[in-house]
Amino acid sequence: MSKINTINIEKQIFDYLSQRLSPKRYEHSYNVAMLAIDIASNNCANVLKAQTAGLLHDCAKYMSDRGLISLLKDHKNFKYFKEISNVSPRLLHSFAGAIVAKEKFGIKDSDTLNAIRNHTLGRANMSVLERVIFVADSVSLDRKWMHAKRIRNLARTDLDKAFLETLKNKIEDVINDGSWLCPQTVNTWNWYVSNYKKNN
C-alpha cells in the first residue's frame, strides 16, 4: 500500500468512527490502536496492521442488535451465530466489524480481518496479530480494571501469558455477572490452556 493510500484510509477510518461512535468508544478505539502498535512492535508483528485492526475493531459497535443480525444474515454460516443472535447479539459487533472493514474500507488482509472478527470470543490457534488486538482491547489505557496495567506491561514481554490472563479475566467476568458464556470462548480457553501447558 502506498503512503498516500495509507493516509487516505486512516482519514476515512477516523471520519467514520468519529461520526458513528460515542466519544468514549472513539477514544477507546484510538487507545486500542496505540497499545496494539506498542505490543505488536514488541512481538515482531506488523504495526500498520495492528493500527488498522485496533482502530476498526469496534467499528460496528454503534449498530443496533437488529442491525447487526441483519448485516450478518448472509454471513451466518459461522459457528454459534444462532446462539449468539438469540442470547447475546452485542457479541456480533466483532463479526460485523470485519465485514465493515472489508466492504467499507477495502481491507483485504485476512489477518487484519480475523483480528477484528475474533477480538471478543477468540478462537483456537490465533495469529500474533489476533492476540495483540484481543489483549489491547481489554487492557487499553481507558480500561481501569484491577490487572489492566500489569497485563499491558506483560504483553510487551510475554504475549502468550498476557493473552491467557486476559482470556481468563474475561471468562471470570462473564461468570461473575451470571451471563451466557459463548462456547467459542470456551473452545478458545481449552485450546490455549492445553497448548500453553505443552509448551511451558
Q: How far is the CB of 140 from Fe ion (least distance, A)?
A: 7
Q: Report the residue number, 144 or 198, with the smaller CB distance to Fe ion.
A: 144
By the 8 A CB rule, do 145 and 169 touch? yes
- Secondary structure class of 56 (helix, strand, coil): helix
Q: Ramachandran region of residue 80, left (φ > 0), alpha (ψ -120 to 50) or beta? A: left
Q: Which is nearer to Fe ion, 98 or 199 (CB)?
A: 98
Q: Which is nearer to Fe ion, 62 or 191 (CB)?
A: 62
CB of 2 to Fe ion, least distance (A): 29
**Quick check: 102 and 113 in contact, CB under 8 A?**
yes
What SS3 class is residue 116? helix
Q: Rounded to the nearest whole angstrom, what is the least distance from the CB of residue 112 to Fe ion in the complex?
A: 15
Which of 58/130 has CB closer to Fe ion? 58
Closest approach, Cβ 194 to Fe ion, in A, equals 26
| Nearest to Fe ion of 130, 137 (CB atom) | 137
Indicate the angle between helix axes 47-56 and 110-117, nearest 10 degrees.
Answer: 40
Per the CB < 8 A criterion, the answer to whether 178 and 187 are in contact is no
Closest CA to 28 of 143, 151, 167: 143
Q: Does residue 95 contact residue 75 with C-beta atoms inside 8 Å?
A: yes
CB of 151 to Fe ion, least distance (A): 15
For Fe ion, the binding residues (CB under 5 A) are 58, 137
